[in-house]
């Protein structure tokens, strides 16, 4: 399907989070498609105005899931970003993805030296809110540097973990919750040395770099005898499976967490909770991976009052980096929508970063950590 095949029906427009904040045809899916077509035909120049319209797409995939013709607008946006001239901020994003350990060590230092972080924020090298958003996370733990294997005598299966950068560097309690839950469900667990999945590279238009990262990750996971890979991040899951397949012809086999918990009723306990829990389903879960219905059933079965909520939180990696004000506007609307929740759980660590920033008065956590902390039987 080519961008020119769009029949301009507009079904994608109203659900586009970027259109909702910019309110202009050039910032909606069909507008962006048309602009990219004109750019390729040499009818619009490679300009800042074009860059703004192409890079303000959050790559959420909502338009793709609504398009009657199945036009994959985010894929066209990835292609456009490879072709448009890149500015310096995008190179910062590239190195963040290629060397996440250095980036997170740098963030730790910046957090401690506030005059330096204020200076970088002032000259707009850093988005104002990023350091504040990450401040609440525990960065004192060891990153997963070396291979870890947790064996079992008669395991139900053998899985490897792909943590994703946010979990590896910021959320050690989620990593521990995954290990505990999978271990109680009787799985052998392998945690190889971790890398980025490459989503930030493709979002910033660096195709060569993501190709070599994808092959590196595919080869790492191919080298183990496993049933498949589990990741707590829906964006990583989408990249390791479909995007890697499109880029290299091969992929990493991603398993659904709910499938691994099937026939494990013996590890759970019923709870009587009056708390209203909202399940914020991330864009990559809603529009690509579609991994949350089964897990919601498992949680509800234990007596939790759970409500499903969808729609972009405004983080989207690069978007919150380049369009901080609009990212905050999208978030503010979601926070108002979720006002009645006593607690928020999500399928995406990046949505958790975003919500924790503005929902200080509520518990916000990943559904895996919620299950491990609240629904498991005692020893």
**Which residues of the chain form contacts with ligand SF4 (CB under 6 A)?**
6-12, 16-18, 29-30, 32-33, 57-63, 66-67, 69, 71, 73-74
Beta strands 363-366; 228-230: pairing state: unpaired
58 vs 159 by CB, closer to ligand SF4: 58
Element (H or E) spanning 92, and its range?
helix 88-98
Q: What's the DSSP call for residue 342?
A: S
- DSSP letter assigned to residue 141: S
Which two tokens mark 32? 């962006």
Kindly state the DSSP code that residue 243 receives in the 8-state scheme: I
Q: How far is the CB of 370 from ligand SF4 (least distance, A)?
A: 27
Question: 312, 306 in Cβ contact below 8 A?
Answer: no
Which tokens hold the place of 1? 């399907």
Q: Which is nearer to ligand SF4, 34 or 175 (CB)?
A: 34
Rounded to whole angstroms, how far apart are CA atoms 105 and 112? Answer: 11
Rg of the Cα atoms in the chain: 21
C-beta closer to ligand SF4: residue 144 or 243? 243
Strand ranges of the sheet holding 157-161, from the earlier edge strand across to the other edge: 148-150, 187-191, 157-161, 228-230
State the minimum distance, in angstroms, from the CB of residue 365 to ligand SF4.
25
What is the rounded CA–CA span in Å between residue 183 and residue 180?
5
Burial of 88 (0-12, 13-18, 19+ CB in 10 A): exposed
Strand extents, DSSP E, 76-150: 148-150
Give whichever of 260 and 312 is closer to ligand SF4, judged by the CB atom. Answer: 312
Residue 50 or 296: the one with the smaller Cβ distance to ligand SF4 is 50
Q: Least separation, in Å, of the C-beta of 330 and ligand SF4?
A: 10
- Select from 262, 222, 255 the least CA-distant residue to 237: 255
Pairing label, strands 187-191, 148-150: antiparallel
Cβ–Cβ under 8 Å, residues 100 and 130: no
Q: Cα–Cα distance between 343 and 345 in angstroms, integer?
A: 7
Distance CA 62, CA 69 (A): 14
Task: Starting at the earlier edge strand, list the strands of the sheet with 276-280.
Answer: 305-309, 276-280, 343-346, 363-366
Rank residues 285 and 302 by Cβ distance to ligand SF4 and give the closer one: 285
Are 141 and 101 a contacting pair, CB within 8 Å?
Answer: no
């Amino acid at each position: 399907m080519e961008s020119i095949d769009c029949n301009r029906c507009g079904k994608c427009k109203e659900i586009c989070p970027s259109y909702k904040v910019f309110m202009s045809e050039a910032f909606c899916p069909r507008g962006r498609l048309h602009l990219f077509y004109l750019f390729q035909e040499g009818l619009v120049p490679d300009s800042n105005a074009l860059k703004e319209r192409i890079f303000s797409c959050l790559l959420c995939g909502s338009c793709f899931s609504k398009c009657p013709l199945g036009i994959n607008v985010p894929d066209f946006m990835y292609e456009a970003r490879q072709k448009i001239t890149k500015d310096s901020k995008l190179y910062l994003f590239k190195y963040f993805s290629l060397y996440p350990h250095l980036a997170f060590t740098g963030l730790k230092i910046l957090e401690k030296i506030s005059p330096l972080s204020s200076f970088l924020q002032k000259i707009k090298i850093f988005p104002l809110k990023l350091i504040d958003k990450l401040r609440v996370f525990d960065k004192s733990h060891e990153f997963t540097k070396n291979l870890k294997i947790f064996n079992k005598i008669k395991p139900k299966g053998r899985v490897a973990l792909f943590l994703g950068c946010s979990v590896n560097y910021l959320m050690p309690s989620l990593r521990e919750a995954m290990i505990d839950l999978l271990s109680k469900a009787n799985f052998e667990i392998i945690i190889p040395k971790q890398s980025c999945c490459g989503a930030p590279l493709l979002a910033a238009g660096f195709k060569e770099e993501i190709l070599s990262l994808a092959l590196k990750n595919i080869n790492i996971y191919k080298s183990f005898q496993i049933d498949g890979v589990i990741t707590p991040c829906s964006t990583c899951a989408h990249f390791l499976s479909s995007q890697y397949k499109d880029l290299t012809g091969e992929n990493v086999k991603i398993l659904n967490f709910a499938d691994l918990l099937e026939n494990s009723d013996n590890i759970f306990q019923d709870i009587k909770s009056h708390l209203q829990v909202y399940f914020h389903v991330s864009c990559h879960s809603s529009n690509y991976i579609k991994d949350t219905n089964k897990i919601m059933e498992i949680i509800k079965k234990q007596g939790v009052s759970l409500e499903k909520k969808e729609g972009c939180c405004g983080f989207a990696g690069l978007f919150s980096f380049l369009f901080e004000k609009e990212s905050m506007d999208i978030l503010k609307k979601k926070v108002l929508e979720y006002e009645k929740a006593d607690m928020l759980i999500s399928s995406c660590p990046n949505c958790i970063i975003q919500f924790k920033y503005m929902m200080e008065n509520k518990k916000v956590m990943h559904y895996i950590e919620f299950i491990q902390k609240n629904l498991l039987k005692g020893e």
